[in-house]
Structure 1
Amino acid sequence: CGEKERAVHNVKQSGVDDMVLLSKINEDAIVENLKKRYMDDFIFVSFCLLTCILLVCWLFIGTNKTHINSGAGKTVAAKYIMGYISKVSGGGPRVQHVKDIILQSNPLLEAFGNAKTVRNNNSSRFGKYFEIQFSSGGEPDGGKISNFLLEKSRVVMRNPGERSFHIFYQVRMRTRGWLLLSEDVTVTVSSISAIIFRLSTLTFRSLGLVRFFKTFLKVKSSYMFSLFSNKWGGKSESIDVTLNVEQACFTRDALSKALHSRVFDYLVESINKAMVKDHQELNIGVLDIYGFEIFQKNGFEQFCINFVNEKLQQIFIELTLKAEQVTLPFHPCAFRFCCDLCLQSNPPGIMSILDDVCATMHAKGEGADQTMLQKLRMQINNHEHFNSWNQGFIIHHYAGKVSYDAEGFCERNRDVLFTDLIELMQSSEIPFIRALFPENLNAEKKGRPTTAGSKIKKQANDLVSTLMKCTPHYIRCIKPNETKKPKDWEESRVKHQVEYLGLKENIRVRRAGYAYRRIFRKFLNRYAILTKESWPTWRGDEKQGVLHLLRAVNMDQDQYQLGHTKIFIKAPESLFLLEETRERKFDGYARTIQTAWRKYCARKKYVQMREEASDLLLNRKERRRHSLNRNFVGDYIGMDDRPELRQFVGKREKIDFADKVNKFDRRFKSIKRDLILTPKSVYLIGREKVKQGPEKGMVKEVLKRKIDVEKIMAVSLSTMQDDFMILHEEEYDSLLECVFKTEFISLLARRYEERTQKKLPLKFSTTLEMKLKKEGWGPWNAGGSRQVQFIQGQGDVAVLRPSNKMLQVSIGPGLPKNSRDLKLVCSSAIAHQNGGLKNANHAANQRNSQHHSNQKPISGNTAHPFLPTNISQLKDRGNRQAPQQTNLDFLKVPDQGAAGAHRQSTNRPTPGGGRPKPTPKPKPQVPQCKALYAYDAQDTDELSFNADDIIDIIKEDASGWWTGRLRGKQGLFPNNYVAKI
């Protein structure tokens, strides 16, 4: 369907949000696009002046046939619009007052005008046209509500499975306190609603009805017989005619409907008075009316609702064609004949025939519906949009064929309120009730009493007249399912709605010319980022700016047209070109901003880690010079490339620290171990030779010890500059020598505090106690303990002298205990990362430089600087592989035996017939540097050298790694190990 997934403002878009841009215009493509957006929670799509919404939150589960449009979310969409206007508009006391009324009027009107139907728990049973009036500055300073077509017959009659208006149930639950009404009005309105509910259920069997009216309505007894009789005649004389039971029920129902309708009108009028404005400037109107309805049994209410929807569909098509100024090859307004079928008077339409039957058979209800049905068959049976059946008739609406049951049509159409009932209400002692019936009964009345159908016709015509004066924007609400569940998609149901709503035809109308159109200013604002000249603001003629942008993306001239104020783009693909270019620009800038932010956060975190680590040892332990200004890497053995080690750690456990250490046993024998720290545990991993099985003789990694972080009791260190530390645990302790002990202890302290909410105990002394592991069973096999004693010596390398139960460590003085970081090594990105180092030999230089036992210290290590091997520098090194000097000695074939030796010593003639050698070319002058310290290469592309070696500099790099040549070999070396000559 021409899907175009893209990210706009970092929000993923699914399908196309403007269906005019679909590559194929058919029902299947439209449905597929709607489905993709619905499944990705994008419920809005648009085209032309129409917005299409798919809502599922307001659906109702049922077993009846399709109930098109009802419950699809029209009322909620109207609330969104009013809420949006309230949020984005200005402020001020008057403006805020109007905003509050706009938002708070919804629950009040829904209580009196909404009800539960078989398809919708909160169905609007009235039409509402809400005008929000604005000042010249764009602030809402007034408003007006016009209500249409209230289904007041629901007060006295409902279909099976449905309910009356919400207010009657709220009154029974004693729900009060509408924000727009005062306490007195709230009590009065609630009381009248209770009276209406009670009145609609009364029967004419006793004098209880008389007592009810006298008690609650406080009317005069002399007017009570209005419920049982009716006056016939003129002004000079009249006759009281007693009503039969059926006529009395009609009168009772008419009074109930009139009371509820007039209370509803009073509420609307009260809201309008609170927002009244003396003059109109600008306004936005929001029409919310009940949708098309098709039930298994459709009655008079469905007939009226669908008639109004036909009228709205008719003006929608007319205004759409007028806006686009095109004519379709087919006749899109064919369904206007449905409106004529209902409204026409010559020959009579359905409503005219219905009113005539109600007028001629007003005294009785039995047989009236069949009489109406017979007249319909006689008058309009030959109409192309009308068919009859034994119990009713069928109308061919734009949404499909609907069968109407004639039962109850005449009864519900009667909306006569006799003057006797008006006099009865005007005699009430309650001022509010008297105000609801302000009619002047002495005025001369002419013509037939109005019916519900005639009132609906008038209101529909008034509504159409109002809408035709506006510039319309339409919202079509599509119902994706009938199960009231999210992500439930009924394709056949959606496709049917797409067809009868005419979405394909509307898209074709819009695509008849150009698919995309926009005024110059908005186009420039959206695509200004494409060029430097237009960003941030184009300073020149807007038309020339648009043309500049189109040329910048090399759009073909036949794909666009420039009008006086708008640009028109023909094909959707051309618009996609602009959008993709725009997104790439934003993506590039976003990546730049993200990179800068990540650098800042990483640097901040790194500085914080260094400060925490320094504070742990400050004034408690002497420091090594190179440990003060060292970057924290974390993973020094490349755990991501070591599955044999990773197998001992949980799958989702982060590696905080990993390094090779020396672990000392009870005899102070040094053993190599891999020390790994995770947020949960400390691991010590060693290696053993397999003694049996198919892998016999192979060396395998073995988990020697696992200590939970929270079980560590303390960590002991000396006060000197050595690298020894003891991890104390309840069972036994572990003596370790770790070059990066400061980093390890700082991370361990952080994880310990996270797990226990306590600080990690650190002990500093020149004599450390170590508890040994218990071997065997019984008290005679106790583990015992050992001591590690630290004494002042010479040099930076620890000298170990083990004895029976004591290890003596001799080491020279380090930096003072109060030493802090001297400087922060600048780098493009400094971070403590999991798996941040892929080269397992990263710290071999520092690790190998610190030998112990009885060996002499290596000269030159006393001022050993730190290697600049942070993450970004390692990446730079990987991107700049130095050319390797290939060793071709293996290709030489030596001469064998004494003869060979003789041949090598024989003087050979000089090539060239004894001519003198040409003068050699002078060697080019290259910059050189002198090595200050010895450096051992850590990788194949690095250069090894000793102190005082002279190195030719081939290339200098800001990362700190230079390319040089020494003794015929070329490679990388750290620039802080050398000084330029």
Structure 2
Amino acid sequence: IIYDELMNNVSYLMSFFSQHAMNVIGIFAEEQTLVLQIVAGVLHLGNISFKEVGNYAAVESEEFLAFPAFLLGINQSRLKEKLTSRQMDSKWGGKSESINVTLNVEQACYTRDALAKALHARIFDYLVDSINKAMEKDYEEYNIGVLDIYGFEIFQKNGFEQFCINFVNEKLQQIFIELTLKAEQEEYVQEGIRWTPIDYFNNKIVCDLIENKVNPPGIMSILDDVCATMHAVGEGADQTLLQKLQMQIGTHEHFNSWNQGFIIHHYAGKVSYEMDGFCERNRDVLFMDLIELMQSSELPFIKALFPENLQADKKGRPTTAGSKIKKQANDLVGTLMKCTPHYIRCIKPNETKKPRDWEESRVKHQVEYLGLKENIRVRRAGYAYRRVFKKFLQRYAILTKATWPSWKGDEKKGVLHLLQSVNMDPDQYQLGKTKIFIKAPESLFLLEEMRERKYDGYARAIQKAWRKYMARKKYVQMREEASDLLLNKKERRRNSINRNFIGDYIGMEEHPELRQFVGKREKIDFADTITKYDRRFKGVKRDLVLTPKCIYLIGRDKVKQGPEKGLVKEVLKRRIEVERLLSVSLSTMQDDIFILHEQEYDSLLESVFKTEFLSLLSKRYEEKTQRKLPLKFSNTLEVKLKKENWGPWSAGGSRQVQFMQGQGDLVILKPSNKMLQVSIGPGLPKNSRKYEFPFDCPSEWIRVLILSVHFTFISQSLPYPPPILCSSLFLCSIHRKIFALSITLLSLPLPPSVRRQTTNRPPPAGGRPKPQPKPKPQVPQCRALYAYDAQDTDELSFNANDIIDIIKEDPSGWWTGRLRGKQGLFPNNYVTKI
């Protein structure tokens, strides 16, 4: 019972999968039923058997006719009639006459089988066509097809089936020769390439031996002719075929005969075919009667499977199996010739199907009959790569400036220019009439590698420009955000607004003694040496380091004991986690003092780069806490002290810092008891912002510079500094020209010191001889147009009209000079050569 249920379930599952597959390809339910109905009809046709009655065939049991007739939608009596007889048309004296020919048992069996085969073949073609239609698209595209057929067959006894299979393989070998051997060598001749022809066997003569129609007729034509003249019994037809073959093609160099068959010299070797059953297997007994029977079906679906025009085809012979094979093979060849075939040659090393079992003679024979030796010789002597000049130029135009973006002139000369530019060996290529031929794949790989390098270089340049743009954009945004922190809240120093942000002013990578206090993978956002004020308002130097996580204050102390006693070592004085900050306090004046407020105690610090530090700190604080860093601006600030366990100051408490209006730009500190008074002169207004020169509008920033120069001479104060880092010498020269032009146009009065130097004096009285002029200096010199305050230790500070020795001029805009014995860098747009 379990076995029966299991088998029933298996049958049900197979039926389910078949119907599911037909659903997927879009076959309607009614058509699915008809497909299964025809398959059942084919199976029931196999149950019909025949008996001999008076030398003619009769259906042995007519009850087996009813169900297939029902399934196929045809009349039962007509099915019986067409299986045991057929209509034959004959002509005599210009008149045509139809004769009803009764079949014998052998012919009736062939007719039944032919009908079953025809139904099965046509329903199979219908399913294939349905699948193709389901996958068909409304646009053209490239396809890859795989052709897998029976290989060449050579058995002890070879018959009609082996003859057909070997014929198809012979046709495919001919395509292989046409496309790889013959076509390649012919192309070399057409293009005028120097070439030594390679001999090979062209099997077209064997294909003609099999499929020729006339002069002389081929084996298939003779076979069809013999089958057409066969009578009711096929006995003796094979011998008749052999005799005709000997008469018609017996002298052919690739044909031999013997008493039981014939031999064909295929490309794969000699194959002997036995004549027994050749004619019977070639005959197709699907006469027009059976087609007419199927067209009389009540089912339109079955009628559509047999679309033949009986009126037009009645006079012709029924197609034979050989003619069908020949037509299908030629159709296949036509399809393949439209494509670009690639061949996979499979070598069978043994007959045992075991690893490491090698039959050398068998392998050698396969290599010979597959034509691999000739193909390799042609490929080795030939050129692995060929391309028309235009496409070659388009692909490798990027390698030279002359060919990019397109070559102007003769394409052949352009190709030659490309090859010479990459120093390719002339023996590795030849130029034909329309194509270039490259011999070794390595030479082609050289071109491809150089092409990839070019694209890689350009891609890197684009990436570099993009990253530079994004970094500059981010940098400008960061400076704007930093400026916004203090905008309308705090006065600004004159030289701080346009200052560039550097971040690491210490060089942490070169100071491992400082880096040891920071986490291994922590990024350094900011590092600078600052001043920290203790509870007595005494200033000490500390290294301030900011990372995404913490603020570090690093000092230096003498080692009091141990082997390193007396040495000054770096010591971590304080570590503040960014998120533990409560706020930061600053004054409203232009000083550099700020206070970091934390839960335990505060830190009073002074840094020239406070704006940069606060902008980075604010960003990291917001990342950690998801809120803005509280900034407090007041001229009276309070500092909470650290509780100590020693001395009179151990109680902790607080201190006060009071800011007062003073004179000048230098900070004056006056500590008194628990208060620190800080006085400093007025700075730039609180609403001062960095001015970005609009480089896309030169006239605008020229106007601004002229006004800046004008303001400088009227007020005789420190000038608003132009951009220090000139992007090119052009900008720096423009600054100098603008300055000179502004003096002329505005007719400004010069400073007294300059007027005194340039006032005309009367010539000296006679007497003492005129002193010899001083020799010109050995080094070039320049005069300062206006004052400059050094912003770093390696820079020079100077006043207007100072004479500076020029040691080195740099295109970046920063020159190296010497003033009063000190050597350093200075901006060239602050000076003019003398």
Q: Same fold (TM over 0.5)?
A: yes
| Structure 2 equivalent of residue 290 of structure 1 | 147
Shift in alpha-carbon separation, 1:714–1:476, aligned structure 2, 3 A: farther
Which of 519, 526, 542 matches 2:389?
A: 519
SS at match of 1:743: helix
Aligned-residue CA RMSD in angstroms?
Answer: 6.5
- Aligned mates of 1:975, 1:922 — CA distance in 2: 25
Structure 1 residue 461: deviation in Å?
A: 2.0
- Aligned mates of 2:133, 2:817 — CA distance in 1: 91
Residue pair 1:712, 1:729 contacting (<8 A) in 2 also: yes
Structure 1 residue 437: deviation in Å?
A: 0.9
| Structure 1 equivalent of residue 776 of structure 2 | 923
SS at match of 2:682: coil
- Aligned mates of 2:279, 2:574 — CA distance in 1: 92
**Within-5 A mapping of 1:895-910:** none
Query: In the alignment, does 2:500 pair up with 1:643?
Result: no
Shift in alpha-carbon separation, 1:943–1:477, aligned structure 2, 3 A: farther
**Within-5 A mapping of 1:559-578:** none
Rg (Cα) greater in structure: 2
Shift in alpha-carbon separation, 1:339–1:934, aligned structure 2, 3 A: same
Q: Which amino acid aligns with 1:961?
A: W
| Structure 2 equivalent of residue 625 of structure 1 | 494
Residue pair 2:726, 2:812 contacting (<8 A) in 1 also: no
| Structure 2 equivalent of residue 796 of structure 1 | 665
Query: In the alignment, does 2:20 pair up with 1:172?
Result: yes
Residue pair 1:426, 1:434 contacting (<8 A) in 2 also: yes
Structure 1 residue 699: deviation in Å?
A: 4.3
Residue pair 1:691, 1:697 contacting (<8 A) in 2 also: yes
| Structure 1 equivalent of residue 827 of structure 2 | 974
Q: How many residues are treated as equivalent by the alignment?
A: 676
Residue pair 1:661, 1:736 contacting (<8 A) in 2 also: yes
- Aligned mates of 1:198, 1:975 — CA distance in 2: 101
Q: Which amino acid aligns with 1:258?
A: R
Which of 385, 395, 398 matches 2:268?
A: 385
Structure 1 residue 722: deviation in Å?
A: 2.5
SS at match of 1:628: coil
Q: Which amino acid aligns with 1:385?
A: A
Which of 804, 814, 833 matches 1:951?
A: 804
- Aligned mates of 1:602, 1:241 — CA distance in 2: 95
Structure 1 residue 694: deviation in Å?
A: 5.8
- Aligned mates of 2:388, 2:572 — CA distance in 1: 69
SS at match of 1:511: coil
- Aligned mates of 2:673, 2:208 — CA distance in 1: 115
| Structure 2 equivalent of residue 59 of structure 1 | none
Which of 245, 255, 258 matches 2:119?
A: 255
Structure 1 residue 723: deviation in Å?
A: 2.3
- Aligned mates of 1:920, 1:332 — CA distance in 2: 100
Shift in alpha-carbon separation, 1:758–1:175, aligned structure 2, 3 A: farther
Which of 300, 304, 307 matches 1:431?
A: 300
Shift in alpha-carbon separation, 1:644–1:263, aligned structure 2, 3 A: same
Identity of aligned residues (%): 51
Q: Which amino acid aligns with 1:723?
A: D
Query: In the alignment, does 2:100 pair up with 1:236?
Result: yes
Query: In the alignment, does 2:604 pair up with 1:747?
Result: no
**Within-5 A mapping of 1:491-890:** 500=372, 504-505=376-377, 507-508=379-380, 510-511=382-383, 518-519=388-389, 523=393, 527=397, 530=400, 600-650=469-519, 652-665=521-534, 668-689=537-558, 698-729=567-598, 733-770=602-639, 787-802=656-671, 807-824=676-693, 863=718
Residue pair 2:86, 2:289 contacting (<8 A) in 1 also: no
Which of 320, 324, 329 matches 1:450?
A: 320
| Structure 1 equivalent of residue 250 of structure 2 | none
SS at match of 2:496: helix
Q: Which amino acid aligns with 2:544?
A: L
Deviations 1:606-646 (A, max 9, x none): 33222222222211222222121111122212233233334
**Within-5 A mapping of 1:163-242:** 169=17, 171-172=19-20, 175-176=23-24, 192=34, 219-220=73-74, 222=76, 231=85, 234=88, 235-238=99-102
Deviations 1:85-115 (A, max 9, x none): xxxxxxxxxxxxxxxxxxxxxxxxxxxxxxx
SS at match of 2:183: helix
Deviations 1:486-510 (A, max 9, x none): xxxxxxxxxx9x9959875454354
- Give the number of the structure with larger relative contact order, counting CA–CA contacts within 8 Å between residues 6 or more apart: 1
| Structure 2 equivalent of residue 21 of structure 1 | none
Residue pair 1:310, 1:338 contacting (<8 A) in 2 also: no
SS at match of 1:747: helix
- Aligned mates of 2:549, 2:280 — CA distance in 1: 79
Structure 1 residue 724: deviation in Å?
A: 3.0
SS at match of 2:527: strand
Structure 1 residue 695: deviation in Å?
A: 5.2
- Aligned mates of 2:259, 2:670 — CA distance in 1: 119
- Aligned mates of 1:765, 1:579 — CA distance in 2: 68
TM-score (norm 2): 0.60
| Structure 1 equivalent of residue 187 of structure 2 | 323
TM-score (norm 1): 0.53
Q: Which amino acid aligns with 1:437?
A: F
Residue pair 1:718, 1:724 contacting (<8 A) in 2 also: yes
Shift in alpha-carbon separation, 1:946–1:672, aligned structure 2, 3 A: same
Residue pair 2:781, 2:803 contacting (<8 A) in 1 also: no
Structure 1 residue 288: deviation in Å?
A: 3.4
- Aligned mates of 1:228, 1:620 — CA distance in 2: 111
Deviations 1:418-471 (A, max 9, x none): 7676456434444343222123557547657533x6533322224435766x7x
Residue pair 1:353, 1:376 contacting (<8 A) in 2 also: no
SS at match of 2:495: helix
Shift in alpha-carbon separation, 1:610–1:934, aligned structure 2, 3 A: closer
- Aligned mates of 1:772, 1:227 — CA distance in 2: 122
SS at match of 1:624: coil
| Structure 2 equivalent of residue 964 of structure 1 | 817
Residue pair 2:69, 2:79 contacting (<8 A) in 1 also: no
Deviations 1:133-177 (A, max 9, x none): xxxxxxxxxxxxxxxxxxxxxxxxxxxxxxxxx999574257447
Deviations 1:257-279 (A, max 9, x none): 3212145457879999999xxxx
SS at match of 2:473: helix
Residue pair 2:635, 2:660 contacting (<8 A) in 1 also: yes
Structure 1: stretches of 5+ with no match in the other structure: 1-165, 179-184, 276-282, 365-374, 394-408, 480-495, 828-861, 875-917
Q: Which amino acid aligns with 2:187?
A: A
- Aligned mates of 1:673, 1:412 — CA distance in 2: 106
- Aligned mates of 2:537, 2:66 — CA distance in 1: 108
Residue pair 1:629, 1:824 contacting (<8 A) in 2 also: no
Shift in alpha-carbon separation, 1:786–1:293, aligned structure 2, 3 A: farther
Shift in alpha-carbon separation, 1:759–1:929, aligned structure 2, 3 A: same
Residue pair 2:429, 2:436 contacting (<8 A) in 1 also: yes
Residue pair 1:674, 1:685 contacting (<8 A) in 2 also: yes
Deviations 1:244-303 (A, max 9, x none): 99997886565223212145457879999999xxxxxxx999783514677999998997
- Aligned mates of 2:63, 2:496 — CA distance in 1: 100
Shift in alpha-carbon separation, 1:699–1:977, aligned structure 2, 3 A: farther
Deviations 1:8-34 (A, max 9, x none): xxxxxxxxxxxxxxxxxxxxxxxxxxx
Structure 1 residue 686: deviation in Å?
A: 3.9
Q: Which amino acid aligns with 2:611?
A: T
Residue pair 1:227, 1:251 contacting (<8 A) in 2 also: no
Structure 2: stretches of 5+ with no match in the other structure: 1-13, 49-61, 89-98, 156-160, 235-257, 347-366, 697-716, 730-770
SS at match of 2:541: strand
